[in-house]
Amino acid sequence: MNNKIVTLVLGAIISCTMLSVQAVAQCSGTGNTYIAGNITNNYTYSFSTISSTAIGISVQYDGTLPTGAAALRAVVKNGGTIISANPAYFGTGITSGVPSTGTLTLNTSVPSGTVLTIDVSMSYAPVSGDGGVGTFETTFTMGNCQVQTVSLDLQTLTVDGTQVSGFAAATTSYNVTLPYGTTTIPTVAGTALTPTLASVTVVQAQSLPGAATVTVKDNANTSSTKTYTVNFTVSPFNPANNTACSGTTNEVSQGSPLTYSYNFVTTTSGVDITITAIDPSLVGIVGYVWDQTNGFAEIQMAGGGGTNQTVTYTLPYTTAAQIIHFSVKLAFAGGMSVTKQFPYTVGDACTPSNINSVGVNEVYGFVTKDVINVTNLIAGSQIFVYDVSGKLLKEVIAQSNTEQIAVNSNGLFVVKVVAANGTTLLKMIK
All CATH 2.60.40.10 domain ranges of the chain, comma separated, are 364-429
- CATH code of domain 13-148: 2.60.40.2550
Determine the residue type at 396.
V
Q: Are 340 and 402 in contact (CB under 8 A)?
A: no
Residue 388: the pLDDT is: 65
Q: Are 415 and 365 in contact (CB under 8 A)?
A: yes
pLDDT digits (tens, 9 = 90+) for 61-87: 999 888 777 788 899 999 989 999 767
Residue 201: the pLDDT is: 97
Confidence band, pLDDT 50/70/90 cuts, at residue 412 = confident
pLDDT above 90 covers what percent of the chain? 35
Four-point Cα dihedral 61, 62, 66, 69, nearest 10? 30
Backbone angles phi, psi at 239, to 5 degrees: -65, -20
Q: Are 180 and 235 in contact (CB under 8 A)?
A: yes
Using alpha carbons only, how large is the chain's radius of gyration in Å? 38
| 165-179, 193-207, 216-230, 361-375: least confident range | 361-375
Mean pLDDT of the chain: 81
CATH number of 364-429, picked from 3.30.565.10, 3.40.630.10, 2.60.40.10, 1.10.10.10: 2.60.40.10
3-state secondary structure labels for all residues of 157-208 = EEECCEECCCCCCCCCEEEEEECCCCCCCCCEEEEECCCCCEEEEEECCCCC
Question: What percent helix, strand, coil does the chain show, rounded to 5?
Answer: 0, 50, 50
- Nearest-angstrom CA–CA distance, 209 and 205: 8
| 139-143, 181-185, 238-242, 402-406: least confident range | 238-242
Residue 70: the pLDDT is: 79
Backbone angles phi, psi at 246, to 5 degrees: -160, 160
Q: Quick one: CATH architecture of 242-345?
A: Sandwich (2.60)
Confidence band, pLDDT 50/70/90 cuts, at residue 16 = very low
pLDDT digits (tens, 9 = 90+) for 229-257: 999 988 776 666 667 788 888 888 888 98
Confidence band, pLDDT 50/70/90 cuts, at residue 207 = very high
- What phi-psi label fits residue 63: left (phi over 0), alpha (psi between -120 and 50 degrees) or beta? left
Q: How far is CA 103 from CA 165, 279, 354, in A?
A: 41, 51, 74
Whether 324 shows a pLDDT value over 60: the answer reads: yes
CA angle, 84 as apex, 83 and 89 as ends, to 5°? 160
